[in-house]
Amino acid sequence: MSVSLSTWLSPLLHLSQDDRENAEILAELRLSQLADAYAFLYQAWQDKTANKLLTSIQVIASLERLHWLEANESQAWLALFAQRLQQICPDIGSLFNELEASGYPELRLALLREAQLDCWSEPLDVPWVLRPDQRHLPPELQVRSTPLGYALAVRSSSFVVYRQPLKDAAYLRERFWPDVQATLNNYWQVHNASDCQQLIYWLGGQGQRYAWQLDFEWLKTASDEERLEWRQELPEGMENYAELMEESVGSGLETLDVAAWDWVRMADLALAGYLAGYFTATEWRSFALVALWLLRSRYGSWEEVAASYLQGYRFWQTQADFTLSPELETTWQQLLTLPFSPMQQLDWQALSLDHPDFRDALSHYSKRLDDPLMLASLLASLRDDVSLLTGLAVDDLPESRRHEARDYLFAGLDIHPDEKLTPTLARFWQPGRVHHYDQLALNCRVGKVPVLPANLAAVDEVWEAWQEQSPLLADQVKHPAGIVMAEKYAFYLVKALETGHYSLKEIEQLALALKEYLSWHYPSAQALVEAWLGWDEVLSLSGEEKPLLAELAWHLKDPGSLFRFLPWKRPPVRFTEPGKAVSEADLATLNLVGPLTGIHWSWPEKLPQHPRQELRNLLQETHLFQDAEDLTDFLNHLLLAGDRQEYMIAFSPFTLNSERLDMEIEIQEQDERDEEQEAYYQRLLRVKNNALGINDLDLTAWDMAQLVDLAVAGYQVDWLDEEALQQWLAKVRKQITSEYHGWADFAQALLAGYNFFMNETENRDELLDIFSQRLLSLLVAVPAQAGLWYTLAWPGEKQGSWNQSATSLTGKRRLH
């Protein structure tokens, strides 16, 4: 025969009589909110002592009397603990023995002895029995089986919700998290809705796992010396972090899995934002469901979630001044094992990633990223991870961040604050670089072998390097190279944004142009990252720049990377790029000066006031130019006569009469020579030896390279306008295409001319070697970054067609 629960528990429930005593019981146990009470009940169930179970029964009764629990939920809990108590103490004698042994208060023990407990050993009249093999819970203790129910279960280590009404934030705040505002302010440093949203996207897309996992991957391959240097460079107070990280690496872990630490807290923060009034119920659900979706994407069980979360918690403890809870690991263990735990009730594998609730939440999450500034900030974050926060909260940048950006732009990059932003950043928009890399990949795919001039040879090491990189470059045909230029431009654009010095509207226009350019060339943000990684791997072979291989690989692997969620759509056929376009013919002509002054990747920029005056002074000192008229006169001289005229008049006749040449050399050797005579003597020797083919070549190349260099300088100091520079470039093109048949032909003449006309100095051989190496790099593309002549069509050369859409000079038409 069974007895009712109320009859069975009646003597125990009457131990607490009034509200004051009920409140004292909760205060004594530090149960200030319902979440605390639930955690207490979970732990009490685990303890298996009569004393603890009896106290829990009294706590449940108190919770009901204070209206913390509804009657039906209270009865369900009471039934659970009554069954547990009866299992431990099957008769009244064993109950008293347990209580006496545990030091139960004498007054309460005396009251129990006086109570009528004749029905103690009778089975309870409840519709269910909780056994390990038959865990049927009362409806009042069952969790929601919807995705939102799972999202609540994910963070139930601190907030257990059964069938509570979720539409009333005030009710939930009062019952479960009355100090939520203080938690947000003090723990999270969140003071408004913008802060909260920023932090949620940071946790989802980057979080603390980003830095930890990058450190882990790097340490796996670092030498002992590198590890020691890494330790020394860590901020003060990070010793425990270093020890735990090196311990993790030494344990043989393949990866450091701490993502759940970020995503569980993302769900925490979403709920906190809702209870604090920062988010609507819809916004909270969306963010919480995205956190759940990320966890479900990564982990195959509740146990894996718990292990990852706790691993992250251990790392966090090494950097925090306080701990979340000393019982946190125990709490997770209870959640994984207790029959009434949400994690026991909800089958992790049964949760479908394709649930409509997820689709809606992900759409909402993605829409909030539909901002060109967000794309620019995300690109910049790979070089400076804090840049991600810039895109997430443009209007709330700390002043320290603004100072850093100003120092970087105005001091580090020598940008004058008075310069206008668009032309200033145009120097970093380099379509020629993109054209070069795209054509470089195609050249390697079709096996185009570099052609060298007769007076320049490459050592074996150069050809070995070319053969090593060629198949890697050939594989990059599938990846447009636009990101190589765009990511650096994005970085400088974000730095400009962070200064607070420029118009936000202008920055937004440039960011939109950048986004349209990238959206045109890549089908998705993920494809963009794949292209970035591919090009970074190849270009890092030269060692010129620290590659971002680890960071890019992280974004491709991590389910939360915001690159996966950026809205992406192809722009209209016509769109405006953030920088100035340049034709391939002009680019080729500008780069006649490659071995002299470096590569032009774009149209030259006008210089700001101070650098402009410095360049004018240099032109005055070296060429005695006082104004634009002097420059124009000299450009005409180079075009029509130049240094090649001196050779033709003073030296070429000797090539027809070797005896006369020998006599002239002998005359020069008999007397002491001043600087001018020494130069003449050395040139006679070069004619005699036909140094680098000087007697067999047309030296127009040397004059045209100088002409282009000086014309560009004239444009930069504002002595020539854009139209005038284009006219000079056209004249140069006409001249060189009539004399030479390709880059190798031009390079042969340029090298000979440089060697012949170069001034006599102590380091002349060194300068000639440097010039030769530059020529070689331009022609062979070793390193790949320098090989523009290998990829750029010779002016006037007929263009072949190819089947890859161009990503180069104009971005919208084929060039090959």
Taking a C-beta distance cutoff of 8 angstroms, is the pair 135, 343 a contact?
no
pLDDT tens-place string over residues 722-767: 999 999 999 999 999 999 999 999 999 999 999 999 888 888 999 9
pLDDT at 41 over 50: yes
| Shared-domain flag, residues 557 and 627 | no
Please say whether the dihedral angle defined by the alpha carbons of residues 223, 207, 35 and 38, taken in this order, is positive or negative: negative
Taking a C-beta distance cutoff of 8 angstroms, is the pair 487, 533 a contact?
no
Output the pLDDT for position 801: 40
Output the pLDDT for position 806: 43
The per-residue b/e assignment along 741-776, b for 16 or more CB within 10 angstroms, e otherwise, is ebbbbbbbbbbbbbbbbeeeeeeeeeeeeebbebbb
Q: Is 811 within the bounds of a domain?
A: no
* Side chain identity at residue 142, one-letter code: Q
pLDDT at 339 over 90: no
Q: Is 476 within the bounds of a domain?
A: yes
CB neighbour class for 442 (10 Å; exposed up to 12, middle 13-18, buried from 19): buried
pLDDT category at 323 given cuts 50, 70, 90 is: low
| Upper half-sphere CA count for residue 287 (Cβ side, 13 Å) | 30
| Shared-domain flag, residues 265 and 383 | no
The region that residue 693 occupies, defined by phi over 0 for left and psi between -120 and 50 for alpha, beta otherwise, is: left
Query: Which pairing describes strands 134-135 and 130-131: parallel, antiparallel, or unpaired?
Result: antiparallel
pLDDT tens-place string over residues 141-181: 888 888 998 998 888 777 777 677 888 899 889 888 889 99
Taking a C-beta distance cutoff of 8 angstroms, is the pair 385, 206 a contact?
yes
CB neighbour class for 244 (10 Å; exposed up to 12, middle 13-18, buried from 19): middle
CA distances from 778 to 25, 450, 581, 763 (A): 83, 10, 22, 23
CA distances from 586 to 218, 390, 581, 806 (A): 44, 38, 10, 18
Q: In DSSP terms, which residues pair with 54 in a beta bridge? A: none
CA distances from 145 to 34, 344, 350, 690 (A): 22, 12, 10, 89
Taking a C-beta distance cutoff of 8 angstroms, is the pair 53, 88 a contact?
yes
φ, ψ for residue 457, nearest 5 deg: -120, 150
Higher-confidence residue of 82 and 590: namely: 590
| Shared-domain flag, residues 184 and 47 | no
Q: Taking residues 61-78, report their average pLDDT.
A: 87
Taking a C-beta distance cutoff of 8 angstroms, is the pair 288, 271 a contact?
yes
- Cis (ω within 30 of 0) for the bond into 783? yes
| Shared-domain flag, residues 353 and 378 | no
pLDDT category at 411 given cuts 50, 70, 90 is: confident
Q: Is 571 within the bounds of a domain?
A: no
Q: Is 774 within the bounds of a domain?
A: yes
| Shared-domain flag, residues 391 and 294 | no
* Side chain identity at residue 6, one-letter code: S
Q: Is 713 within the bounds of a domain?
A: yes
Output the pLDDT for position 18: 63
Which of 114, 141, 168 marks a domain boundary?
A: 141
Give the H/E segment covering residue 130.
strand 130-131
Q: Is 810 within the bounds of a domain?
A: no
Q: Taking residues 285-314, report their average pLDDT.
A: 96
- Structural domain count of the chain: 4
pLDDT tens-place string over residues 414-468: 788 888 899 889 889 999 999 999 999 999 999 999 999 999 998 899 999 999 9
The CA-CA-CA angle for residues 183, 398, 550, to 5°, reads 85
Which of 507, 535, 564 marks a domain boundary?
A: 564
Cα–Cα distance, 811 to 68 (Å, whole number): 65
The pair of structure tokens assigned to 257 is 């899995």
| Upper half-sphere CA count for residue 208 (Cβ side, 13 Å) | 21
Which of 367, 383, 414 marks a domain boundary?
A: 367
Nearest residue to 9 (alpha-carbon basis) of 65, 45, 54: 54
The region that residue 608 occupies, defined by phi over 0 for left and psi between -120 and 50 for alpha, beta otherwise, is: beta
Nearest residue to 361 (alpha-carbon basis) of 287, 415, 413, 297: 287
| Shared-domain flag, residues 381 and 498 | yes
pLDDT tens-place string over residues 170-223: 988 988 888 999 999 998 999 999 999 999 999 999 999 999 999 999 999 999
Q: Taking residues 114-138, report their average pLDDT.
A: 71
Percent over 70 (pLDDT), the chain: 94
Q: Taking residues 538-557, report their average pLDDT.
A: 88
| Shared-domain flag, residues 329 and 377 | no
| Shared-domain flag, residues 386 and 345 | no
Higher-confidence residue of 672 and 814: namely: 672
Give the H/E segment covering residue 383.
none
Output the pLDDT for position 805: 39
pTM over 0.85: yes
pLDDT tens-place string over residues 469-501: 999 999 999 999 999 999 999 999 999 999 999
pLDDT category at 546 given cuts 50, 70, 90 is: confident
Output the pLDDT for position 352: 94
Quick count: other Cβ atoms within 10 Å of Cβ 30? Answer: 8
Of 9-23, 442-456, 581-595, 704-718, give the lowest mean pLDDT range: 9-23
pLDDT category at 19 given cuts 50, 70, 90 is: low
* Side chain identity at residue 614, one-letter code: E
Q: Is 178 within the bounds of a domain?
A: yes
Q: Which ranges of 624-696 does DSSP label H, i.e. alpha helix?
A: 628-640, 642-646, 658-670, 675-689
| Shared-domain flag, residues 130 and 170 | no
| Shared-domain flag, residues 289 and 311 | yes
Q: What is the mean pLDDT of the chain?
A: 88
Look-up of token digits 């311990």: 247
The pair of structure tokens assigned to 478 is 């599938």
* Side chain identity at residue 131, one-letter code: R
The pair of structure tokens assigned to 669 is 């050797």
Give the H/E segment covering residue 203.
helix 193-205
Output the pLDDT for position 324: 63
pLDDT at 14 over 90: no
| Shared-domain flag, residues 426 and 539 | yes
- CA 360 to the chain's CA centroid: 26
Q: Is 377 within the bounds of a domain?
A: yes
pLDDT category at 811 given cuts 50, 70, 90 is: very low
pLDDT at 573 over 80: no
Output the pLDDT for position 803: 36
| Shared-domain flag, residues 676 and 644 | yes
Output the pLDDT for position 131: 61
DSSP, collapsed to helix, strand or coil, labels residue 94 as helix
Taking a C-beta distance cutoff of 8 angstroms, is the pair 563, 374 a contact?
no
Output the pLDDT for position 671: 78
Q: Taking residues 621-642, report their average pLDDT.
A: 94
Range of the domain at 481: 372-564
pLDDT category at 809 given cuts 50, 70, 90 is: low
- Pick from 381-390, 414-423, 568-577 the range whose average pLDDT is largest: 381-390
Q: Taking residues 570-582, report their average pLDDT.
A: 79
Give the H/E segment covering residue 283.
helix 281-298
Output the pLDDT for position 133: 54
Output the pLDDT for position 802: 37
